[in-house]
Amino acid sequence: MSHARYGAYKESGVEWLGEVPAHWEVTRNKDIFEERGDLSISGDETLLTVSHITGVTRRTEKNVNMFMAETMEGYKLCQTGDLIINTMWAWMGALGTANEAGICSPAYGVYRPKKYTHYNHKYFDYLYRTPHAVTEMTKNSKGIVSSRLRLYPKDFFQIQTALPDEQEQTAIAAYLDTKTAQLDRQIELLSQKATQYDKLKHSLINETVTRGLDKTVAMKESEIEWIGDVPAHWETKRVKELFEISRGRVIAQTELLEDGQFPVYSSQTKDDGCLGYINTFDYDGTYVTWTTDGANAGTVFLRRGKFNCTNICGTLKLNRKNCDIPYLHYSLQVSTKHNKRIDTNGAKIMSNEMMFIKICVPPLAEQQAIAAYLDSKTAHIDRIVATINTQIDKLKELRKTLINDIVTGKIKVA
């Protein structure tokens, strides 16, 4: 897709901007902004917060569990259009302009536009949240390591930026509001589609491991509330009747290995995030692992190659003949989901609970047929979801590139 360019360009002399339209001014932030030093007397104003994802929003719109001060007296006042920067997280892009008046943390930097300056706050919200702008903020921050970087006002003021006139800023902001809304809608629709496919996948697994492939067979009551009826010739077994159960231990830092790392699944990481290498086994078709606590507690993995069990996951070793581990893996996925315990520490499914979970056990030939069927069907769904996620990634990249090219003048807004 081709875009119009401006008639003439000039070299800005600023690395993060590159060339800019010839009629744009290149100036330092200190010529555009000044610090707002007003403080709240009552602390009753609307509390605003800053995120690298959403920019400036009301604190009440954020789902956070951080400590709240008893009083917000002395918090910084900010007005509509002010640029607010989280001094400690500017290197992550935690900044934006305010769409309403309110107050914010004393640790934030609040900058108001100088009088008679060409300024449309939405333009600057787009401009300063681009990756190149955030990199420039990081370069001008002070600190030894990234987690300790701080962007102080005097350093922010020295950053150079490109400044179209206010009419052009307004046109740019309006154009981007429209285009990003269109892209966001496409991304949202694709995300919903991926979610529906994911639900379809789990529904398919649930239906197949509890009803089988032959819908004409006689049924019986399973005596498991969430399952209901199952094929009459199936058995129901507790996990402890099929597996030996073990759980890992805490891994010391000194035990971590640098080379030959095998994957470890925790409640927070799936395909990466190696934590250590204890209780290591060679996969011989007899092991399943599940995460015991955390946000993804009860997530069941069929392990391949070498793997280990840490303190955040448990291992099931098959100890019964006439059982197909791929089938049991699918069945356990469903059963653990219906047996997750929620307590004050979050979701948990520990070894002493896992052993009493019941799963459906058809004859071996049926287990193998079900596993083969689900392998084929879920792989097909996974490919569809992967394609959708690729489309989402491309749209997100397009959104990012479009914003950057327009706010820095690489593309002209008609």
Q: Which domains does the chain have, with CATH numbers?
A: 25-163 (3.90.220.20), 194-378 (3.90.220.20)
Q: Does 341 score more than 70 pLDDT?
A: no
pLDDT of residue 288: 78
pLDDT of residue 2: 60
What value does the mean pLDDT of the chain take?
A: 84
Distances (CA, A) of 326 to 4, 136, 318: 56, 51, 11
**Among the ranges given (248-257, 333-342, 343-352), the one the predictor scored with the smallest mean pLDDT:** 248-257
Q: Does 209 score more than 90 pLDDT?
A: yes
State the pLDDT confidence band at 256, using cuts at 50, 70 and 90: very low
Read off the pLDDT of each residue in 150-167 and give the average, rounded to a whole number.
Answer: 94
Q: Is the pTM of this model over 0.85?
A: no
Helix (H) or strand (E) holding 221: strand 219-221
Read off the pLDDT of each residue in 392-414 and give the average, rounded to a whole number.
Answer: 94
Read off the pLDDT of each residue in 41-47 and give the average, rounded to a whole number.
Answer: 91
- Token pair 């008893």 is found at 70
Helix residue spans in 10-159 (DSSP H): 121-128, 131-139, 153-158
State the pLDDT confidence band at 286, using cuts at 50, 70 and 90: low
Rounded CA gap, 106 and 110, in Å?
9
State the pLDDT confidence band at 279, using cuts at 50, 70 and 90: very low
Q: Does 73 score more than 80 pLDDT?
A: yes
Residue 401 identity (one-letter amino acid): T
Best-predicted range by mean pLDDT (51-65, 159-173, 222-236, 263-277): 159-173
State the pLDDT confidence band at 250, using cuts at 50, 70 and 90: very low
pLDDT digits (tens, 9 = 90+) for 325-336: 889 989 988 888
Sequence-separated (6 or more) residues with CB below 8 Å from residue 289: 265, 300, 301, 303, 307, 309, 313, 314, 315, 316
Note whether 411 and 3 are within 8 A (CB): yes
Rounded CA gap, 239 and 353, in Å?
10
pLDDT digits (tens, 9 = 90+) for 130-149: 999 999 999 999 987 777 88
Q: Does 81 score more than 60 pLDDT?
A: yes
The percent of residues in the chain predicted with pLDDT above 70, rounded, is: 82
Question: For residues 222 and 207, which has the higher predicted lDDT (pLDDT)?
Answer: 207
